[in-house]
Amino acid sequence: MRPFIIRFIAVGSLAALLIPGVVRSVSPALSAQTAPATPTDSGKMVEVDPIRCWWKTSVGSVHVGQQFTLTLTCAVLQNDSVQVVPDESRLGPAAMTMTPFEVVSGTHPADLYTADRRFFQYDYVLRIINPDLIGKDTRIPDQIIHYRVNSKVSQNASIIGKDNIYDLPIIWMRILSLVPVDATDIRDSGSESFAIPESLLFRANVFEIVAAAAAALGALFLLLAFVRLFLRTRKTRKAGVARGVGEAGILRQVARELSSVQRDSAGGWDTDLVGRALGATRVAATIALGRPVGEAMHAGEANGEGRMLVTPFRRKAAVISGGITTNQVTKRLNALPDATPPATRRALEDLQAALAALTTAHYARVAAFERTTLDEAVEKASAATSALRSDRMWPKPMVRRWIRREPAAAR
C-alpha cells in the first residue's frame, strides 16, 4: 500500500501545480464567448447584448397575393475592444426563405454607425398565395443569425470567438384580418427605413443647388435692372448746364436759404435780404406749380438777382432760379378742383401771400421794409417749402406715378 499512497500523493501535487496555469490560459477564451462587457462613465464594466434585432411590417394584414414589406433591423456591438461579426450572407433576399411566404424582392440600405453600435437593415417584399390561410394568423418562419464575438486583447492581437446563434423575434401576419392574435396595440406601423434619409439628403442637395442657381440668376437680373435704370436716368446735357439736382434737394436748399434770411434779418431788413427771400420763394413756387426750375453750372460769378446757389452732395455747384409770379399762383389756386388736398391748397396760399409781400417790398418805388409783414411772409414761405419738401420725399413721387399708371392701364 505504501507505493500506491506515494504515487497518489505525487500525482496530486503535480495536479495542484498545473491546474492554475491551465485555468489562466483558458479564461480569456471563455470570457470571449460570453456577453461582452463595456466600460461605463464610472469605469465599471457592464454586460451588454452583443446583437439585438426586431421586425417591422408595412401593413397589419394582407390579402392573398398582396405584396407587403417586411423590414429586419439589427444592432450589433462594435467598439475598440469588442466587435460582433454577424453572418449576413444568409440574410440577403436571394438566400432568405420564408415559406409559406414568397420573397419577391428586397433591398439592403447602407449601414449606420454610432459610438458603440453598428445598425444594419434588410427590406423584404413578400406575398402569400395560399388560399387555405385566409382568415388565419400566419407566422413568419423562425429565422436565426450566426455571429461571432471578436475581442481585442492587445494592439496587434485579437481573439476570434466561437460561432453563436441568435433567434430572431417571432412575428405574425394576419390574412384578411385587421389585428394579429398577439398584437398589443392597433397603432399603424411606420414605413421609415434607412433608405429614406439617403433619398431625403439627395433631394435636399438638389434643392440647395437649385436655390443657389436661382439666387445667382436673380442677382444677375437685379444688377441688369440697376444698370438699365442708371443708363436711363443719366441724361446728356449741353455744356454750361448743370446736372439735375432733384426737387427734394432744391427744396432743402430753399429751406436753408429762407432760414438764413430769417437769421440775418434780426438786425433789420434791406434790399439784399428781400431779394434773397424773393428768389428762394419763387423757386419753391415754381416747383409747387410743376414748372421746370432753371439750372446752370456755377462758374464763380455772382449769383445775381433772383438766383440761388445750390451745392448738392458730391456734385458741382449750380445756380437755380424760378420765374413764377403772384398772378400765376393766383390762377392756379382758382383752377384747383374741389377734391384738392387741403395741404396743397394751404401751401399755394402761403406762397401767394409771401410772393405778394416780398414783390411789393422789393420793387416798390420808395423802399419801405415793414418788419412785421416781411417776417410773416418769410414764415409762410418756409412753411410752404417744408410741406412741398415732405411731399417730394422718396418714395412718395414713385407711389404717385404708380397710382396714375394703374387707372390709365385699366382704361
Q: What is the pLDDT of residues 216-236, one digit of tens each?
A: 999 999 999 888 877 766 544
Three-class DSSP category at 385 = helix
Strands 68-77 and 117-127: antiparallel
pLDDT band at residue 194 under the 50/70/90 scheme = confident
Residue 71 within any structural domain of the chain: yes
Tell me, yes or no, whether 71 and 171 share the same domain. Answer: yes
Say what the pLDDT of residue 195 is: 78
Average of pLDDT values for 149-168? Answer: 85
Say what the pLDDT of residue 33 is: 45
pLDDT band at residue 382 under the 50/70/90 scheme = very high
Q: Average model confidence (pLDDT) for the chain?
A: 80
Residue type, position 383, single letter:
A
Residue 345 within any structural domain of the chain: yes
Tell me, yes or no, whether 262 and 399 share the same domain. Answer: yes
Residue 148 within any structural domain of the chain: yes
Residue 83 reports pLDDT greater than 80: yes
Residue 222 within any structural domain of the chain: no
Q: What is the pLDDT of residues 257-305, one digit of tens each?
A: 999 999 999 888 998 899 999 999 999 999 999 898 888 776 555 455 6
Tell me, yes or no, whether 164 and 53 share the same domain. Answer: yes
Residue 14 reports pLDDT greater than 60: no
Tell me, yes or no, whether 272 and 185 share the same domain. Answer: no
CA angle 174, 68, 61 (to 5 degrees): 20
| 86 neighbors 76 (Cβ within 8 angstroms) | yes
Residue 134 reports pLDDT greater than 90: no
| 172 neighbors 138 (Cβ within 8 angstroms) | yes
Residue 249 reports pLDDT greater than 90: no
pLDDT band at residue 19 under the 50/70/90 scheme = very low
Task: Write out the DSSP string of 243-254.
Answer: PP--HHHHHHHH
Q: 324 is in which domain, residue-wise?
A: 247-410
Residue 128 reports pLDDT greater than 80: yes
Q: What is the pLDDT of residues 26-55, one digit of tens each?
A: 344 434 445 566 555 555 555 778 999 999
pLDDT band at residue 136 under the 50/70/90 scheme = confident
pLDDT band at residue 102 under the 50/70/90 scheme = very high
Percent of the chain with pLDDT over 70: 75
Tell me, yes or no, whether 156 and 298 share the same domain. Answer: no
Residue 305 within any structural domain of the chain: yes
Burial (CB < 10 A; 0-12, 13-18, 19+), residue 313, is exposed
Average of pLDDT values for 96-108? Answer: 92
Residue 15 reports pLDDT greater than 90: no
Residue 50 within any structural domain of the chain: yes
Tell me, yes or no, whether 267 and 375 share the same domain. Answer: yes
Residue 2 reports pLDDT greater than 70: no
Average of pLDDT values for 140-169? Answer: 87
- Among 193, 209, 237, the domain-final residue is 193
Tell me, yes or no, whether 255 and 400 share the same domain. Answer: yes
Say what the pLDDT of residue 159 is: 84
Residue 406 within any structural domain of the chain: yes
Tell me, yes or no, whether 386 and 258 share the same domain. Answer: yes
Residue 211 within any structural domain of the chain: no
* DSSP code for 29: H
Task: Look at the chain and report how many structural domains it folds into.
Answer: 2
Residue 351 reports pLDDT greater than 90: yes
Tell me, yes or no, whether 182 and 282 share the same domain. Answer: no
Tell me, yes or no, whether 400 and 266 share the same domain. Answer: yes
Say what the pLDDT of residue 399 is: 72
- Among 193, 211, 239, the domain-final residue is 193
The least confident of 174-178, 294-298, 383-387 is 174-178
Percent of the chain with pLDDT over 90: 42
Say what the pLDDT of residue 183 is: 57
* Count of CB atoms situated within 10 Å of the CB of 111: 14
Tell me, yes or no, whether 148 and 297 share the same domain. Answer: no
Tell me, yes or no, whether 77 and 156 share the same domain. Answer: yes
Which residues, at least 6 apart from 94, have a Cβ–Cβ distance to it below 8 Å?
A: 106
- Among 158, 178, 193, the domain-final residue is 193
Average of pLDDT values for 198-208? Answer: 90
Say what the pLDDT of residue 21 is: 46
